[in-house]
């Protein structure tokens, strides 16, 4: 199973500003102070091995879109946030414009940041393509049609060349897609959201974003521990700090890094990927949250060691 992150930002796409890039250049030059480089390779090696992630790179600004390659022709797609635009371009590059494919999309929910990439997902404009959108929401077709309705977009849903199909699934009832076992769970979020679990050849991956967990809801937590059970990877909504998520932002429908660790440790999941980053957070801040989360995991670790990472646009994982 291969997982690739095309969009990891929550709520709204963001981009680095001129000021942000300037600061990264200043930080890189400061850290290279006094060093001399004999060749371009030396420069590359310094950047790759000595500069911290927040200086040499960025977590990225596209909204939710993750692919899971289960060995089918096209990878499964989780959500169609603005990350679906680069994904669509990559698919057209891979298959060419005259080689129709079937795409399976699994939607967490229908908020703008999770559907806004669909009109820019080039495969929808290619005749012969089939796009099957799996959802827990009965309004799924309405949401996609409305997004392209006049006067909001120049191309209406009816004008799309691909054959687009919607399938609504009951949470907790497993089904199979192209030889992969798929299961969904209802999550606490405005208008509900759904987490997805994919299992194939002994590997499993969970996509659980836009999901709030309540400290006093023991039963709800147990359900998620079971849903995450022994997963090789759990992609988890860690938009807020624990304190914010239980105080000023309680009931806003999102969770925290700390809850992610607690649930994944109990589930004995292998890797937790923090996801749906708050748009106002800088790269340095997201990096500091990761270090804090890793320290927390170590301090609260029992018999099971959980690997904690932070997802960024472009990150690829081999499970």
Residues within the interface to Zn ion (CB under 5 A): 111, 113, 210
- Residues contacting residue 215 through CB under 8 Å, at least 6 positions apart: 246
Find the shortest distance in angstroms from Cβ 213 to Zn ion.
Answer: 15
Q: What is the DSSP annotation of 77-90?
A: EE--STTHHHHHHH
**Nearest residue by C-beta to Zn ion?**
111
Find the shortest distance in angstroms from Cβ 41 to Zn ion.
Answer: 41
Q: Find the distance separating the first CA and the last CA of the chain, reported in whole Å.
A: 5
Contact at 8 Å (CB) between 257 and 242? yes
Which CB sits closer to Zn ion, 70 or 133?
A: 133
Which CB sits closer to Zn ion, 210 or 297?
A: 210
Place of tokens 């959201």: 193
* Euclidean distance between CA atoms 49 and 32, whole angstroms: 12
Which CB sits closer to Zn ion, 199 or 210?
A: 210
* Of 309, 299, 294, 224, residue with least CA distance to 266: 224
Which CB sits closer to Zn ion, 148 or 187?
A: 187
Which CB sits closer to Zn ion, 224 or 297?
A: 224
Find the shortest distance in angstroms from Cβ 281 to Zn ion.
Answer: 14
- Residues contacting residue 141 through CB under 8 Å, at least 6 positions apart: 166
Find the shortest distance in angstroms from Cβ 13 to Zn ion.
Answer: 11
Find the shortest distance in angstroms from Cβ 193 to Zn ion.
Answer: 6
């Amino acid at each position: 199973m291969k997982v690739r992150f095309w969009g990891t930002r929550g709520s709204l796409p963001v981009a680095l500003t001129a000021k942000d890039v300037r600061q990264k250049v200043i930080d890189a030059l400061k850290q290279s102070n006094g060093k001399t480089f004999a060749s371009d390779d030396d420069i590359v090696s310094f950047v790759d091995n000595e500069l911290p992630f927040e200086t040499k790179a960025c977590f990225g600004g596209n909204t939710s879109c993750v692919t899971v390659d289960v060995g089918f022709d096209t990878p499964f797609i989780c959500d169609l946030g603005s990350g679906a635009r680069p994904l669509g371009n990559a698919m057209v590059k891979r298959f060419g414009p005259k080689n129709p494919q079937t795409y399976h999309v699994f939607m967490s929910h229908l908020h703008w940041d999770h559907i806004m990439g669909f009109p820019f997902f080039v495969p929808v404009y290619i005749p012969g393509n089939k796009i099957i959108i799996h959802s827990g929401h009965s309004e799924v077709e309405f949401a996609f049609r409305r997004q392209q309705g006049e006067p909001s977009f120049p191309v209406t849903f009816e004008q799309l060349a691909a054959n687009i199909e919607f399938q609504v699934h009951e949470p907790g009832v497993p089904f199979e897609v192209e030889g992969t076992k798929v299961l969904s769970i209802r999550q606490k979020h405005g208008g509900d959201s759904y987490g997805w679990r994919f299992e194939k050849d002994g590997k499993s991956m969970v996509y659980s974003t836009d999901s709030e967990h309540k400290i006093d809801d023991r039963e709800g937590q147990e359900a998620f521990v079971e849903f995450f059970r022994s997963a090789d990877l759990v992609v988890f909504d860690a938009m807020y700090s624990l304190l914010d998520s239980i105080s000023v932002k309680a009931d806003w429908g999102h969770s925290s890094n700390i809850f992610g660790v607690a649930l994944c440790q109990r589930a004995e999941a292998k890797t937790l990927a923090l996801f749906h980053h708050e748009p106002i957070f800088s790269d340095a801040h997201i990096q500091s949250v990761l270090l804090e989360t890793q320290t927390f995991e170590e301090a609260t670790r029992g018999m099971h060691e959980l690997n904690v990472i932070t997802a960024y646009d472009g990150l690829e994982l081999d499970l």
